[in-house]
């Protein structure tokens, strides 16, 4: 092991900024991060061991205790639940003789849940040692069980098990018309960088991650900072449950995404770019590296790009299971080899980002669109969409519809049209923009896809009338509690309190005042949290409570109050110590139960 | 002409580069806080110092003062919400004031009194946390840690060490120490370190000193935290008698401003 750690440190030039990448490699090889590795690494990177431990404990894919030789994770996204995930996980656990959350005695296999894997259109899905396992069913689980019990290396597993589909059902302005490799850069060099920025401005392109900040304005801010070192970051940490369009863009159109990044670098004067690729998309890593190499060979990346004197290169860094790293300043912290905790703002990344230098962070789709705009001009893009939301939006559609997958719609399209196109019927409602977005009911399908109406990062989950709203909200609320970074009090404590309070109501223990308490808690988390995660963590409750108050009310008991904790459960230790289990050793939760 | 912001309708001067907290403190305006300390880089995590800046919630300890800002610090809504945030800290850990050595000298307790917090409001987590009493002079009671990171910052910025760090994610956060064994006794911590004296709760304590000053004669037994905090920052000098002598003051008017 000592040699391997030494090798990793040297390969990463003893840079602590590469800590997360180094730890990923250690986890991948030993299926945990051993204590000795931490000690050795602390010495080699000249950082305290506490820094390493805090990184390991922050990311879901890193562990201080051994996981199985085969690390199995099953996606916990609501869409996986709708496709029978619970049943399948139970079956998997039984076949493999391993508990969910545990490691089998022989150390061969571990099984656990994980946040959305970005395979909602081909779930139920899982990961084995970071590689995707889409379309799980009992037949596939039997095959996987057999392979694991035979201890077959992953390389020898049938490729079909890992095959991820693009499922592009409706290409539009961008997806229909790919640009030639280098076309955006050639056009931009010919037109001039300032003029190209003006075209992007004219296009009205706004950030596709969901927040919708004007792209040209962000690039201009980056350009105007008085610094000689700048960075371009592509945010490919597509973690919002129900979103998977960036996975498809990177799988099939990576050239155009990289070209958008290079274009941004040429405009703002950056020499270095990063793609922060979510750990769940590990399987894309080699493919993306080879595309980068192709581009270097073609003179589209590296030194003196297209003989125009532009030096720019791109490095791909992998995440390790932390939704919060989709927040741009948390992403930068993660790139610097730290826990992904959002920074205080101001300063914004565009003035002080990676290593304190001006940094433009954009979504995969934003870079993808920017390169098309550079070729086709701003007007081409601005002619489509609404006044405030120009162009098109690429959606990831999942849930109750006949054709789940990728769709591209002009902004301004009604939800009704989208539902018709994806083959949804008997619809209860749609979750737009993922758990952090909005739940709309079937009375609102005339609303439109637009920043000024329903803004979205691309997640579009359809629910039919057989679905239970509280199950959906419960799943989303648990997700946020699990993904809260823990930095600020309202989100750290609040999301866990919210999870408990909602569970109390859903499980039928709520009484008259409990919905009021629930709402009060939501407002507190929303108004006082440090970053977007906390500020939106209560959206699932708030957007459904407003629309379906009766669903919550119907769950309440007709008593004035029931304690939030289990009175009888609290006596368990005492009963064990006293070796008693008679009626007198039990307490009823409420007086009502006594009668 | 110096620049000013407005806090609760009052003009407050500030210097370029100051945060709202710094400008307020210098002018004798108290904004409740726990993770903030004037000697260290602001952190912005406890969220008690949330103020409304031109209608938007911001952490006063990290948000820069800018000419013309209209800041709301003293309103019923902010007061009620700060109280709830404090209650969150109380239920997250195990804060049993009556049996705590720090009672009366504890900033968490004093802020709770200042905000007129009379109960815990939320259900308790009853977290199962441990005590590290391995060090001959200092102990950590993890039950009382609120993750303010003041010990982390003090150790790095004042003591030139790296004894403490926050590890884990979300509700599973925990304070860890820099030793291969994970125990405080194996770190280079000394009881004279600033990091030992900075804890706003009873999480880090110096052994055998817990009751040197009797309960009833401690800092916040006789003064509200706003007075103490402002005096400590040197903004509006009030009598700075050692706490054990400061018995002539009136009974604390908990919860009244």
- Specify the pTM: 0.93
Residue A595 class from Cβ within 10 Å (0-12 exposed, 13-18 middle, 19+ buried)?
exposed
For all residues of chain B together, what is the average pLDDT? 91
CB A161 within 8 A of CB A141: no
User: Which band of pLDDT confidence, cut at 50, 70 and 90, is reported for residue B203?
Assistant: very high
- Cα A394 to Cα A16, A175, A248, A449, A513: the distances in Å are 37, 9, 10, 11, 42
Residue B63: which domain range?
Answer: 3-74
Distance CA B62, CA A568 (A): 45
How many CB atoms are located within 10 Å of the residue B224 CB? Answer: 18
Distance CA A407, CA B180 (A): 52
User: Which band of pLDDT confidence, cut at 50, 70 and 90, is reported for residue B107?
Assistant: very high
Task: Name the helix (H) or strand (E) containing A591.
Answer: helix A591-594
Bridge partners of B220, per DSSP, are: none
Q: Are residues B173 and A486, on separate chains, in Cβ contact within 8 Å?
A: yes
Torsion angle (degrees, nearest 10) of CA A387, A437, A241, A421: -50
CATH number of the domain within which B136 lies = 3.30.70.20
How many CB atoms are located within 10 Å of the residue A547 CB? Answer: 17
Give pLDDT tens digits for A575-585: 999 999 998 88
Residues of A in contact with B167 (CB under 8 A): 50, 53-54, 57-58
Interface of A with B (CB under 8 A): 35, 39, 48-51, 53-54, 57-59, 322, 339, 344, 346, 481-490, 492-497, 500, 520, 524, 527-530, 563-565
Q: What is the per-residue pLDDT for A558?
A: 75
Using the structure block, give the residue that is written with the tokens 């402002």: B230
Q: Are residues A346 and B64, on separate chains, in Cβ contact within 8 Å?
A: yes
Give pLDDT tens digits for A190-217: 999 999 999 999 999 999 987 899 999 9
Which residue in A454, A449, A447, A434 sits closest to A394, CA to CA?
Answer: A449
Residues of A in contact with B59 (CB under 8 A): 344, 530
CATH of domain A169-382: 3.40.50.11540
Instruction: Please report whether residue B48 resides in a domain.
Output: yes
What average pLDDT does range A81-91 have in this prediction? 97
Number of domains in chain B: 2
What average pLDDT does range A475-482 have in this prediction? 98
- Domain-by-domain residue ranges, chain A? 2-58, 70-165, 169-382, 393-465, 470-553, 566-595
What average pLDDT does range A72-82 have in this prediction? 97
Is the peptide bond between A346 and the residue preceding it cis, with omega within 30 degrees of 0?
yes
What DSSP line would sit under A434-448, residue for residue? Answer: STTSEEEETT-TT-B
What average pLDDT does range B203-228 have in this prediction? 94
Distance CA A79, CA A242 (A): 8
Q: What is the per-residue pLDDT for B138?
A: 98
In the three-class reduction of DSSP (H, G, I as helix; E, B as strand; rest coil), residue B140 is classed as strand
Distance CA A142, CA A134 (A): 14
- ipTM entry: 0.92
What average pLDDT does range A568-573 have in this prediction? 86
Instruction: Please report whether residue B93 resides in a domain.
Output: no
Query: CA geometry: angle at A466 spanning A415 and A125, to 5°?
Result: 80
Bridge partners of B165, per DSSP, are: B176
Bridge partners of B205, per DSSP, are: B139
User: Does B56 contact A at CB distance below 8 Å?
Assistant: no
Give pLDDT tens digits for A307-349: 999 999 999 999 999 999 999 999 999 999 999 999 999 999 9
Secondary-structure class of domain A470-553 per CATH: mainly alpha
CB A235 within 8 A of CB A364: yes
Report the topology of domain A393-465: Ubiquitin-like (UB roll) (3.10.20)
User: Which band of pLDDT confidence, cut at 50, 70 and 90, is reported for residue B243?
Assistant: very low
Which residue in A135, A134, A158 sits closest to A146, CA to CA?
Answer: A158
CATH number of the domain within which B22 lies = 3.10.20.740
What average pLDDT does range A552-571 have in this prediction? 80
- Cα A520 to Cα A118, A497, A514, A527, B81: the distances in Å are 32, 11, 10, 11, 10
Q: Is the pLDDT of residue B256 over 60?
A: no
Residue B216 class from Cβ within 10 Å (0-12 exposed, 13-18 middle, 19+ buried)?
exposed
Give pLDDT tens digits for B147-200: 999 999 999 999 999 999 999 999 999 999 999 999 999 999 999 999 999 999
Using the structure block, give the residue that is written with the tokens 């945060």: B19
What average pLDDT does range A72-91 have in this prediction? 97
User: Last residue of a domain, which of B57, B74, B91?
Assistant: B74
How many CB atoms are located within 10 Å of the residue A342 CB? Answer: 23
Which residue in A177, A367, A176, A335 sits closest to A268, CA to CA?
Answer: A367
What average pLDDT does range A23-42 have in this prediction? 98
Using the structure block, give the residue that is written with the tokens 């125009």: A308
User: Which band of pLDDT confidence, cut at 50, 70 and 90, is reported for residue A591?
Assistant: low
Task: Give the distance from residue A480's alpha carbon to the nearest chain B alpha carbon, in angstroms.
Answer: 10
Instruction: Please report whether residue B178 resides in a domain.
Output: yes
Which residue in A510, A516, A418, A497 sits closest to A470, CA to CA?
Answer: A510
Give the helix, strand, coil percentages of chain B, each rounded to 5.
Answer: 25, 15, 60
User: Last residue of a domain, which of B36, B59, B74?
Assistant: B74
Name, in order, each residue with C-beta under 8 angstroms of A414's C-beta and a sequence gap of 6 or more: A445, A446, A447, A448, A449
Secondary-structure class of domain A70-165 per CATH: alpha beta
User: Which band of pLDDT confidence, cut at 50, 70 and 90, is reported for residue B240?
Assistant: very low
Give pLDDT tens digits for A229-249: 999 999 999 999 999 999 999
User: Does B214 contact A at CB distance below 8 Å?
Assistant: no
């Amino acid at each position: 092991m000592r040699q391997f750690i030494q090798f990793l440190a040297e390969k990463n030039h003893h840079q602590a900024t590469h800590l997360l990448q180094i730890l990923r490699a250690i986890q991948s090889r030993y299926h945990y991060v051993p204590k000795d590795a931490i000690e050795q690494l602390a010495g080699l990177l000249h950082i305290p061991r506490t820094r390493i431990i805090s990184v390991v404990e922050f990311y879901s894919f890193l562990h201080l205790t051994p996981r199985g030789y085969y690390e199995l994770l099953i996606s916990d996204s609501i869409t996986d639940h709708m496709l029978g995930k619970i049943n399948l996980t139970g079956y998997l656990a039984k076949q493999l003789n391993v508990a969910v959350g545990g490691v089998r005695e022989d150390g061969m296999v571990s099984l656990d849940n994980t946040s959305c894997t970005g395979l909602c259109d081909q779930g139920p899905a899982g990961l084995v040692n970071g590689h995707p396992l889409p379309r799980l069913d009992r037949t596939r689980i039997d095959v996987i069980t057999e392979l694991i019990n035979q201890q077959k290396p992953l390389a020898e597993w049938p490729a079909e098990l890992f095959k991820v589909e693009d499922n592009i059902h409706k290409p539009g302005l961008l997806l229909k018309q790919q640009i030639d490799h280098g076309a955006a850069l050639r056009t931009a060099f010919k037109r001039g960088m300032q003029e190209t920025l003006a075209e992007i401005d004219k296009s009205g392109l706004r950030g596709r991650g969901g927040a919708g900040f004007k792209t040209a304005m962000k690039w201009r801010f980056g350009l105007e900072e008085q610094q000689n070192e700048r960075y371009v970051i592509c945010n490919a940490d597509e973690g919002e449950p129900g979103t998977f369009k960036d996975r498809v863009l990177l799988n099939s159109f990576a050239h155009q995404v990289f070209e958008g990044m290079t274009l941004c670098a040429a405009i703002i004067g950056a020499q270095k770019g990063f793609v922060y690729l979510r750990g769940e998309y590990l399987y894309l890593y080699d493919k993306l590296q080879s595309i980068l190499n192709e581009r270097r060979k073609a003179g589209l990346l590296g030194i003196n790009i297209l003989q125009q004197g532009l030096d720019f290169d791109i490095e791909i860094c992998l995440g390790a299971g932390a939704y919060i790293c989709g927040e741009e300043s948390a992403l930068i912290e993660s790139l610097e080899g730290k826990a992904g905790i959002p920074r205080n703002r101001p300063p914004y990344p565009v003035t002080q980002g990676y290593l304190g230098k001006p940094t433009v962070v954009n979504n995969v789709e934003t870079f993808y669109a920017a390169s098309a705009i550079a070729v086709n001009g701003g007007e081409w893009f601005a002619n489509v969409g609404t006044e405030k939301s120009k162009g098109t939006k690429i959606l990831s559609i999942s849930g109750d519809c006949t054709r789940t997958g990728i769709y591209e719609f002009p902004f301004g399209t009604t939800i009704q049209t989208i539902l018709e196109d994806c083959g949804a019927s008997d619809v209860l409602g749609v979750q737009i923009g993922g758990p952090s977005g909005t739940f709309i009911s079937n009375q609102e399908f005339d609303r439109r896809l637009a920043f000024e109406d329903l803004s979205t990062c691309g997640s579009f989950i359809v629910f039919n009338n057989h679905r239970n709203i509280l199950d959906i909200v419960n799943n989303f609320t648990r997700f946020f509690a699990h993904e809260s970074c823990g930095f600020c009090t309202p989100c750290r404590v609040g999301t866990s309190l919210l999870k408990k309070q909602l569970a109390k109501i859903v499980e039928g223990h709520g009484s008259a005042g409990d919905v009021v308490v629930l709402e009060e808690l939501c407002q507190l988390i929303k108004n006082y949290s440090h970053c977007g995660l906390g500020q939106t963590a209560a959206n699932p409750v708030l957007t459904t409570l407003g629309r379906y108050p009766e669903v919550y009310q119907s769950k309440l008991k007709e008593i004035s109050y029931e304690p939030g904790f289990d009175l009888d459960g609290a006596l368990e230790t005492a009963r064990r110590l006293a070796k008693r289990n008679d009626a007198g050793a039990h307490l009823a939760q409420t007086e009502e139960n006594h009668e | 002409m110096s620049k000013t912001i407005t806090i609760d309708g009052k003009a407050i001067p500030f210097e370029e580069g100051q945060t709202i907290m710094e400008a307020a403190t210098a002018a004798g305006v108290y904004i409740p806080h726990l993770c903030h300390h004037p000697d260290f880089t602001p952190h912005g995590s406890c969220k008690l110092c949330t103020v409304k800046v031109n209608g938007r919630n911001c952490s006063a300890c990290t948000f820069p003062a800018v000419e013309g800002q209209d800041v709301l610090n003293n309103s019923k809504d902010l007061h009620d919400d700060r109280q709830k945030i404090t209650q969150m800290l109380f239920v997250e850990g195990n804060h049993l004031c009556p049996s705590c050595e720090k009672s009366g000298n504890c900033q968490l307790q004093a802020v709770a009194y200042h905000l007129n917090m009379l109960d815990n409001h939320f259900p308790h987590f009853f977290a199962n946390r441990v005590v590290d009493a391995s060090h001959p002079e200092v102990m950590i009671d993890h039950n009382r840690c609120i993750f303010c990171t003041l010990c982390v910052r003090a150790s790095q910025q004042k003591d030139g060490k790296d004894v403490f760090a926050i590890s884990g994610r979300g509700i599973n956060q925990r304070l860890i120490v820099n030793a291969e064994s994970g125990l405080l006794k194996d770190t280079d911590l000394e009881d004279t370190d600033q990091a030992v004296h900075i804890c706003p709760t009873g999480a880090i304590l110096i052994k055998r000193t817990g009751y040197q000053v009797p309960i009833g004669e401690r800092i916040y037994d006789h003064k509200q935290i706003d007075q103490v905090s402002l005096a400590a920052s040197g903004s509006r000098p009030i009598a700075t008698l050692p706490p054990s002598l400061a018995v002539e003051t009136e009974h604390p008017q908990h919860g009244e401003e």
